[in-house]
Chain A
Amino acid sequence: MLPLVLDTVSFAINGRTIIDRVSVEIGAGPRTVILGPNGAGKSVLMRLCHGLLRQTGGSIAWRGANGGRQRQAMVFQRPVMLRRSALANVIYGLKVAGFSRTERELRARDVLEVVGLANVAERPARVLSGGEQQRLALARAWALNPEVLFLDEPTANLDPGATRELETIISQINAGGTKIVMTTHNLGQAKRLGDEILFLHQGRLVERSPADRFFQQPMSAEAIAFIKGELPWS
């Protein structure tokens, strides 16, 4: 279904423009990190891409074969866990996506194993720790075998240890062939996980570069200020 092509996409609400004429093509392969300070519009842009919001201007299209919602998944900054076991949460996603009963159980056990939650599979999801819940959300999304996985600040509420665990799993998922599109306001995380950086500032896509170049020779004044820590980002 990739590439995802955004053509002068805008989003306004209550007369305020939140996303301002963003044009970009997101292709298969490298991990794309949408970087920017708080309030830049990263979450809104991601919701537009995932189809949870409708743009008020421009167009968003999946240009590849086999398009549609089926093959994309998203992990939210604050994931919502259903009141049932960790395993049942993963199975739920698979059921809604139309996987067969036997396949659901197998895949669910499988992904829980990979994210290191096999030992708490039967525990109610909502009593798991923040880090465990975020890994569970990742497992639930990944179990659907998406072509693209959107991650909205997946580690924003986690301690450094849990953050590292999650980043490792994200890299594994990417190595397995799933396209990662992730937002963060954290420079360190963007460096660790980003192959290419989309730098967003006040709703505008200010810069798009390979990660190395972005951090060594940022081109826009906003990116330079952000990297020097002159823009608020925490």
Chain B
Amino acid sequence: MSKMNDLTSAFTQAFGLIGRLDTELLAIVGLSLEVSLTAVVLASALGLPIGAAIAVGRFRGRQPLIVVLNALMGLPPVVVGLMVYLLLSRAGPLGQLGILFTPAAMVVAQTILILPIVAALSRQVIEDAWHEYREQLRSLGAGPLTAAITLLWDTRFSLVTIVLAGFGRAAAEVGAVMIVGGNIDGVTRVMTTAIALETSKGDLPLALGLGVILLSLVLALNAAAYWVKEAAQRRYG
């Protein structure tokens, strides 16, 4: 009975935090969005052209590259965190940068985490379109670069959903940002690491509040992805 009450009161307090826009909660959500949005922008800026190049290109090692890329989609976040930690730690090759335990390190880790997702999924989408477009584009005189740009534009709605999936994955992962960010209060604490910490400390309201926001975010992203595709399908065929 009292357990039930605990839970009810934790939920009530959680919604209280959200309702009155608690500053600590807002700061954590804000940093989460900042880090993951930056990561997804970087991963897309690199991953979409890589995906298009592999889709359209004909070069040695293309098939092994695709296999590796697909496998990298399943990279465990803690492994990425460990790799980036080793790179950025004082003794590591990029230790000079001095960005370990800063949001910049978290951006690097999340970018590495979702780059293969954006590249591999966009490669698939663009290659499917390439099969359909190939002869037509060649007939019109388009070279590989023009073709790649054309395909990126023509698959734009599918690519948007891929980018949103990448963002969702970045915002929801905990292992990489925990290792390279360190979950420092007010500096590198994001939603997922805060939830992990507060839960272990027994501070359920903050953890729950963040959990509710994270869940809503993931839901909203999926709704957006679905809606973009549906609307585009209806409008552009």
Contact = CB atoms under 8 A, between A and B. Distances in A.
A73 B139 contact: yes
Contact of B139 (A70, A74, A82, A92): A74
Given A70-B141, A126-B237, A82 B135 contact: no
A73 B236 CA distance: 25
Which size class do B's interface residues fall under?
10 to 19
A76 B235 contact: no
Interface in B122-141: 132-133, 135-141
A21 to B, nearest CB: 25
Interface string A60-99: 0000000001100110100110111000000011001100
A52 interface: yes
A104 to B, nearest CB: 13
Contacts of B156: 83
A131 interface: no
B237 A82 contact: no
Interface residues of A, number: 22
Nearest to B147: A96
B140 A83 contact: no
Contact of A96 (B132, B142, B236): B142
Nearest to A125: B237
A124 B157 CA distance: 14
B8 interface: no
B150 A52 contact: no
Interface string B148-175: 0010011010000000000000000000
B146 interface: yes
Contacts of A114: none
Nearest to A75: B139
Given A80-B133, A82-B154, A83-B154, A124 B139 contact: no
B136 A76 contact: yes
Nearest to A53: B135
Given A96-B146, A97-B140, A126 B132 contact: no
Interface of B: 132-133, 135-142, 146, 150, 153-154, 156, 235-237
Given A73-B140, A83-B236, A93-B140, 8 more contacts: A69-B141, A76-B139, A80-B137, A92-B150, A96-B140, A124-B235, A125-B237, A126-B236
Q: A-B pairs with the 6 shortest C-beta distances?
A: A126-B237, A80-B136, A127-B237, A124-B236, A83-B154, A83-B236
